[in-house]
Structure 1
């Protein structure tokens, strides 16, 4: 684990530590800075380490990473502002068109390596209402700002998926906080007719795409849902909110297909690395 965090990045006059042991010490010291860091990092060196390492993989210096990367449920998530900055830093063009009268914002991204095929995404109050966001204070007080960030991240998900490969899911911290509204528990019958038709339609759409990828065994199907949901899933209809399902499919079948393939490949690589580490540990134990 003597992996180098960054090349030449400096925090003040102190070179960023390079060995894993030095990184842990660095994270422990930084996490003690009360009042200067987001709460997720105060007293939590593990979160600091995850954010700094993820930031390093994207070329973000440590303190900028701690201000623009949240760790939610143990997973790093970018802020919408960081997404916009990274898109432009990657040599891509990003434009915003705002329509105050219609309360609508459109983001357009033209990749530096594919200038003939621009990507666009529009977010308006009709979309916000559909997603159940119009009752939130931010959408009441600054709707154009909130719609701008949502349009940027939606467009970046389609145009620059490489920004989200290190994440557990293709959502920014801002989008995850949009889903913070508590949901009142209700008792329903455990069958498809008990759920809204729109939710059943979304699950059927995801199921169909999973089947098209050749994943047919029930346990493997649920594993795909768990990778997308970033948590345990026994029944997609019961365990996953309709708003989350809608976000999965909003980029289109091709985007969701690529997302599933990426998550499955990452899971296989993690399993392979774990098995190799176990085998190496057993070998070292036998040699002793």
Structure 2
């Protein structure tokens, strides 16, 4: 009778040990994930670029490069690509959020407990009229108050007198746009995903009203 029959563990002991597989470093995992995300963005961008007229904003229609950037942003934000296309300008590959989109980005970020609100001070129609955006931190329960923007600031900075400016025509709306943009920049820049904010004061800022 063989030793292996007498002692079954003897044959087991003779079997070579399974090779130890080293864990994949986190850096390599992140790179692989980024590459997969970019491949998906390229596929989605190609699909959106060939959609019929009227399905996507005109600055994206037929523009595969811009569609790819917008789709990549949408994947990273876990949001609708069409929302991104409606609010993100891509110029030579550089993404820029429209000023009017900032409040939506803030309110949908998950950082704050509820919708942010505008805090208006000063009499309407005067240089003292000002606006701040205020939100409640979900983590601390404390209010987070953004920088104030005033009509006087708009005039002193040249926004009011700029050719084609909407500040004299729609000061209440422009105050809100600026207040939300400043809040995003100072209090939660991460919601911008590294993109700039378009601080234009002309028709492009209010084209969706």
Q: TM-score range by the shorter chain?
A: 0.5 to 0.7
Using a 3 Å threshold, how does the CA distance of structure 1 residues 106 and 117 change in structure 2: closer, same or farther? closer
Give the conservation status (yes or no) of the 8 Å contact 1:133–1:139: yes
Cα drift, residue 132 of structure 1: 1.3
TM-align CA RMSD: 3.0
Find 2:183's aligned residue among 151, 155, 179. Answer: 155
Cα drift, residue 3 of structure 1: 4.6
The reply on whether 1:48 has 2:67 as its aligned counterpart is yes
Cα drift, residue 97 of structure 1: 2.1
What is the distance in 2 between the residues matched to 1:41 and 1:141? 29
What is the distance in 1 between the residues matched to 2:105 and 2:38? 26
Paired position in structure 2 for 1:172: 197
Paired position in structure 2 for 1:110: 136
Find 1:78's aligned residue among 97, 107, 114. Answer: 97
The reply on whether 1:145 has 2:173 as its aligned counterpart is yes
Stretches of structure 2 that go unaligned for 5 or more consecutive residues are 1-30, 204-209
Paired position in structure 1 for 2:49: 31
Higher helix proportion (structure 1 or 2): 1
Cα drift, residue 4 of structure 1: 8.3
Cα drift, residue 114 of structure 1: 3.4
Per the normalisation by structure 2, the TM-score is 0.65
What is the distance in 1 between the residues matched to 2:95 and 2:38? 21
Per the normalisation by structure 1, the TM-score is 0.49
Give the conservation status (yes or no) of the 8 Å contact 1:96–1:106: yes
Paired position in structure 1 for 2:150: 124
**Secondary structure of 1:112's partner?**
coil
Aligned length: 163
Report which of the two structures shows the higher radius of gyration computed on alpha carbons: 2
Cα drift, residue 150 of structure 1: 0.3
Stretches of structure 1 that go unaligned for 5 or more consecutive residues are 6-16, 181-288
Q: Deviations over 1:119-174 (max 9, x none)?
A: 2221111111222111233112211101101001101222112113422xxx423x
Give the conservation status (yes or no) of the 8 Å contact 1:119–1:158: no
Paired position in structure 1 for 2:78: 59
Give the conservation status (yes or no) of the 8 Å contact 2:37–2:72: no
Give the conservation status (yes or no) of the 8 Å contact 2:133–2:183: yes
Q: Deviations over 1:226-276 (max 9, x none)?
A: xxxxxxxxxxxxxxxxxxxxxxxxxxxxxxxxxxxxxxxxxxxxxxxxxxx
Find 2:87's aligned residue among 49, 68, 74. Answer: 68
